[in-house]
Chain A
Amino acid sequence: MPEISRDEVAHLATLARIELSEEELDHLAPQLSVILDSVASIAGVAGDDVPPTSHPMPLTNVFRDDVVEPCLTPEEALAGAPEQQDQRFAVPRILGDEQ
């Protein structure tokens, strides 16, 4: 099984949208390697004929009747927002200069 490198951890952190300091990378990368090494033990145990389970109690097409039910008011929905404006969530710019 592949070892997980420091650079790889940095890349994964970017994908997961978590800034990591140099110290955190030094600390986390070896720990993640140890964990991965341990979980890799299941490789090859289950044959190709074993179907995957995503959910313990398989339910499909769970719908409710299409009727209007009470829901949050705009004020309630916005109550925890770090910033709001004109009854909307105010967010930082989404596009960069190059976009």
Chain B
Amino acid sequence: MSDLIRRTAAEMADALAKGETTSVELTRAHLDRIAEVDGALHAFLHVDAEGALEAARAADERRATGSPASPLDGVPIAVKDVLTTRGMPTTCGSRILEGWVPPYDATVVRRLREAGLPILGKTNMDEFAMGSSTEHSAYGPTRNPWDLERIPGGSGGGSAAAVAAYEAPIALGTDTGGSIRQPGAVTGTVGMKPTYGGVSRYGLVALANSLDQVGPVTRTVRDAALLHSVIGGHDPKDSTSLAEPVPDVLAAVEQGATGDLSGLRIGVVTELGGYGYQGGVLERFKESVDLLVQAGADVVEVSCPHFVHALATYYLILPAEASSNLARFDAMRYGLRVLPEGVEAPSAEEVMRATREAGFGDEVKRRIILGTYALSSGYYDAYYGQAQKMRTLISRDFENAFAQADVLVSPTAPTTAFPIGEKVDDPLAMYLNDLATIPANLSGVPGISVPSGLAHEDDLPAGFQVLAPPLKDDRCYRVGAALEARLHEKWGGSLLDRAPDVKVVTR
């Protein structure tokens, strides 16, 4: 493997600025790596070598004339396939959008292009981001670089696996209930879900529009902050976008990287730990909390009593919103159209039914039907109405907790990566993976997952989650950077240094 691709995005940007490498060289090295290992990993659904190299050449010209478009100008990136990309297919991991080439860019994609980042390709995901393992992709699962027989998390398993396996230095993910943070935890990478409304959702194909948020998938906290700075900020094309400045996340990383957290109050959430959490994951969590105490932080235990209802609340809100959002796949304007068999001159409704039968996978059907049920008259108050009230109570729990602590912490995911196939047809078991990440989406607060080490049972990565109040994303970065610095010191390098090389484990 080329040493070039093992660098962080910040180091790559430095090397580009100093003229030690070129964007074309960097981009080519990553394309070579993809060609080498993606047959085993399947992190990408589409690779755009030509487009990426063209963007790289343009970046090199800007650097040569001393006018880079951004600090990351020329650093290549991968994009989750749920974000629209002009001229590049966008499938959302679904057959219903197979081959669809959007006529417009998502705002975050436009910002990447304007900042000069060559887009390597589109990454695999659970169909319409419904899942925690990437096994629900219609195009086959992505494999975890730490163990090819295991899941890379989901729904953004493709982005996390690509970054963990050095196919891309950084990537974009989306997080509706943990789809950035949980894949980060199980692949030993960093994943950040910004405050709801902090990053534009324009061009993000909606799963649950009141929960979805775009964010960085990276190998270091600093790289996440660099990418956050590129994609964040108000967008008039998204009516839920907040007209607030992006917090100074880079300054927060510098402050955190000193390893000093004196005076910071850290709240350990009672309800996010204990029963259902793997022993080795909890061990790594406690060790990280101890390191933060050594860094000067004060630790308090806080209770968020309604978090025990977060999972149930989420699995009513999400299907309800998804069933409405996915009604747009009607076989009329774009995507698949399937004619029912044996029907002469079928009606639009019959065509729609046949198309959605053929184009959607099991999990999507389950959730659409569940959402239709929760929204139907007679059940609306008992289900959707109750869930909306529960959302208020969960947000109040956050407010109370943040009155006692500056940030809240928990393990990101209750377990390490599980074997492919183990939970694919057991929806409830699958849903439990998002136990600790879901509350943040229900209340819109920011959260980051940072690698916390390997669990003793299986030597697989675990993640440490830091949650902050709305618009205080900088606190996630400060604490994340401090923990990362302390852990790197302890390990003598990054966690990914201990991952097997994918090439070696390829069968």
Contacts and interface: CB of A to CB of B under 8 A. Distances in A.
A19 interface: yes
Interface in B218-239: 236, 239
Interface string A57-73: 10100101000000010
Contacts of A24: 365
A92 B351 contact: yes
B392 interface: yes
A54 B210 contact: yes
Contacts of A64: 236
B1 interface: no
Among B103, B336, B337, chain A packs the most CB atoms within 10 A around the CB of: B103
A95 B346 CA distance: 10
List 8 tightest A-B contacts by C-beta distance, closest first: A56-B444, A80-B334, A52-B388, A46-B389, A82-B337, A76-B103, A19-B357, A53-B391
A89 B334 CA distance: 9
Contact of B376 (A12, A17, A56, A89): A12
A93 B345 contact: yes
A50 B372 contact: no
Given A57-B240, A79-B101, A92 B427 contact: no
Interface of A: 1, 4, 8-9, 12-21, 24, 27-28, 31-32, 34-36, 38-46, 50-57, 59, 62, 64, 72, 76-77, 79-83, 89, 91-96
B240 A12 contact: no
16 contacts: A1-B382, A9-B369, A17-B352, A18-B365, A18-B369, A20-B357, A28-B362, A32-B366, A43-B386, A52-B385, A56-B196, A62-B240, A82-B334, A91-B348, A92-B345, A92-B347
B426 to A, nearest CB: 9
B323 interface: yes
Interface residues of B, number: 71
A55 B366 contact: no
A54 to B, nearest CB: 6
A16 B369 contact: yes
B428 A38 contact: yes
Given A42-B387, A45-B386, A56-B210, A35 B428 contact: yes
Contacts of A40: 312, 383
A21 B365 CA distance: 12
B472 interface: no
A28 to B, nearest CB: 6
Contacts of B369: 9, 12-13, 16, 18, 28, 32
B347 A55 contact: no
Interface in B73-131: 100-104
Chain B: interface secondary structure? helix
Contacts of B372: 12, 15-16
B88 to A, nearest CB: 13
B62 interface: no
B315 interface: yes
A77 B103 contact: yes
Interface string B307-343: 0010011011000000100010011111111001000
Given A17-B356, A18-B356, A35 B315 contact: yes
A51 B373 CA distance: 22
Interface in B381-428: 382-383, 385-393, 395, 427-428
A32 B323 CA distance: 15
B289 interface: no
B46 interface: no
Contacts of A19: 340, 353-354, 356-357
Interface in B225-257: 236, 239-240, 242
A34 B366 CA distance: 12
A78 B324 CA distance: 23
A4 B306 CA distance: 27
A70 B393 CA distance: 43
B422 to A, nearest CB: 16
B368 interface: yes
